[in-house]
A and B are shown apart, each in its own frame.
Chain A
Amino acid sequence: MRLPGTTRLAWRFLTANRWRNITLGATVAVAVFGAVLFEAVGRTIVDQLEDDAQRRYGTAQITLPGGAAGTLAGEAGWITRDDARRISDILRVESVSVYPRVQSDAVLISEGQFTTVRVISSADAADDPPSPTDDPPSPAQTLLVGYGPATLGDDAASGFMDLDEFGVSWVRDQDVPDLVWVSDDELMRALREVGVASEDAVGNVLLIGPGDSKNPGAGRDSPDDRAPAVVAYNSAEILIAEFPQVVVRSRQDLADRAAKISAENIPLLLSLVLILPAIAAIVGSVLVTGESRGDQLILLRTMGFDTPTIRALVVREVFMVATGATFIALVLVGIVAGAVPNLAVAAKSIVRFSVIGVFIPPGLSFLTARRLLSGGIHERLAEFRR
């Protein structure tokens, strides 16, 4: 039954119950706003992790299995120089991080850009490295250049080579102590000679291991015909074809390893942190609202209002509150998203949580009203009389 004036009465219910409705609306708004924002923050973190993984790992990490002829022994073994050359021919090298024998700043060749080498000490520095802050710094006699990232992990440290031995000239910087300059061409030639880089050393990342950043001489102790093990990135399919035994780890795995948590679950976890208690609060608010209306609903029934009409009134009231609160929450999300650069606000999560905000509270109120209206009027009136 559609009654004249019920819309106006619904509005009157809204305004008359303003504190209760404000509480309900605030709960819904916090739930939607928090959930969307938390998920966006989670996605931003994941994006950052993935970007980091992309930067560090490319699309995959490939480890040549140990024990096979001509391949490295696990992640910390050795690879033949032939295999190293084959791999370097396959891979497009975007950058090679090159370190002096004692970890410090490094030579970095990125997309063909010539970078610096910070020289720390003499040839014997590997056994007893002086502090970079020694004053005056010891003159470099032999420059050992490490290659490979120091940040990759324990199982993929740097290898090293003697630049003098490989004929790479280097010049001390006139102004900056402990800084030498090396020739890009000569360095790349040397890297190719040890099987690290190919002619087209541009593009993707080639990371070399093993070795130990705390034991930079390790790379020099390799067997005569061996180069450090190779942990390579990108061109995975080609490498797998060339070396069927390779183990490929996806970027996601690497990101998960790095974060020690499933990147897929971070946004969900973060959103659940807020959405679960908020949903509990919504349920509580609606139930309290419904229970407090129980006597009013019975009075309406005795007056001759049928239950569908009463239920519609209750649901409409909550729907109006929930919709308004959700709208406000989304406006706030928009403001925050505009204010915080790179915040990964996903349209999908906005839709998902908006649906929750708009439909869950009235859905609950429908169930509450149905329960309150299901009993006989006589019994309910008797309860009120007691």
Chain B
Amino acid sequence: MNSSSPFVACTEVSKSYADGDQAVDAIRELSMEAHGGQVTAIVGPSGSGKTTLLHLIGGVEHVDSGSIIAAGVDLGELSSSEQTAFRARNVSFVFADLNLLPVLSIYENISLGLALLRLGQPEAHQRAMSALDLVDLADRAHRLPATLSSGERQRVAIARALARESALVIADEPTAHLDHAMALQITNLLRSLGADHGSCVLMATHDSAVAEGADQVLRLEDGRRID
């Protein structure tokens, strides 16, 4: 990935939501860039627009105005189904909670993400096991998520992104429920996604210690960039 060419470029992006009769401006004329191979931390208080920004960049939402170019694609031009295809090709999400299907084993959760890439069975298996190996969970491949700790489940979510070789990894408060040591471990894994695998990692967090490890920090308040 060419570091001079941003993988994500947001220009004058605005997004508002209806809250009863009133419109709430979640993002206001925000511009930013994020590069492949780097971790960008988005920090700000609750309600500052971190999650909305991630959803806009991840192709979950459409902008009201402005533009977002990600992986060379203007997301504002995509239909809903094209957004879905964009997510399937390029994006992996890591959430604070909702990461894994509880009825599938860890290995199957990772395989499910690979199903969208239409890989052959041997390659899919190899990718899944390699990813689990990288997050140190290969020996628990066939356990259900409920049998793992919160930190281990986050590692599985990151392993899924590793296996998919996603160009864009969106992590929304990935360390929210973790202790400091585990948060550091997850942060390091996310950094390795960028540094070792070239992914563009966007991570929303309210933890300044986690943000310090990022290559770039974007500060938001009331939907505006304040740094």
Contact = CB atoms under 8 A, between A and B. Distances in A.
Interface string A294-312: 0110111111111100000
A296 B101 contact: yes
Interface size grouping (class) on chain A: 20 to 34
B195 interface: no
A303 B98 contact: no
B116 A304 contact: yes
Interface of A is mostly: helix
Contacts of A9: 104, 108, 112, 115
- Count chain B CB atoms within 10 A of each CB in A3, A17, A385 and give the residue with the most: A385
A153 interface: no
Contact of A303 (B86, B104, B112, B118): B112
Interface residues of B, number: 33
B91 interface: yes
A370 to B, nearest CB: 15
Contacts of B113: 303
Given A3-B115, A381-B60, A384-B98, A16 B104 contact: yes
Interface in B41-92: 51-52, 55, 58, 60-61, 81, 84-89, 91-92
A371 interface: no
Given A17-B103, A303-B93, A381 B116 contact: no
A166 interface: no
Contacts of B95: 381, 384
Contacts of A382: 51
Contact of B87 (A13, A302, A378): A302
B99 interface: yes
A5 B120 CA distance: 10
- Count chain B CB atoms within 10 A of each CB in A12, A303, A377 and give the residue with the most: A303
A18 B91 CA distance: 32
A69 B96 CA distance: 97
A13 B112 CA distance: 12
A308 to B, nearest CB: 9
Contacts of A385: 51, 96-97
Given A295-B98, A298-B98, A6 B115 contact: yes
Nearest to B96: A385
Contacts of A17: 103
Contacts of B115: 3-6, 9
B99 A4 contact: no
Given A5-B115, A295-B98, A303-B113, 12 more contacts: A9-B115, A17-B103, A299-B99, A301-B84, A303-B116, A304-B86, A304-B91, A304-B116, A376-B60, A377-B55, A378-B52, A378-B61
Interface of A: 3-6, 9, 12-13, 16-17, 295-296, 298-307, 376-378, 381-382, 384-385
- When A and B form their complex, which 3 residue pairs have the shortest distance between CB atoms, in order from nearest? A304-B88, A16-B103, A304-B87
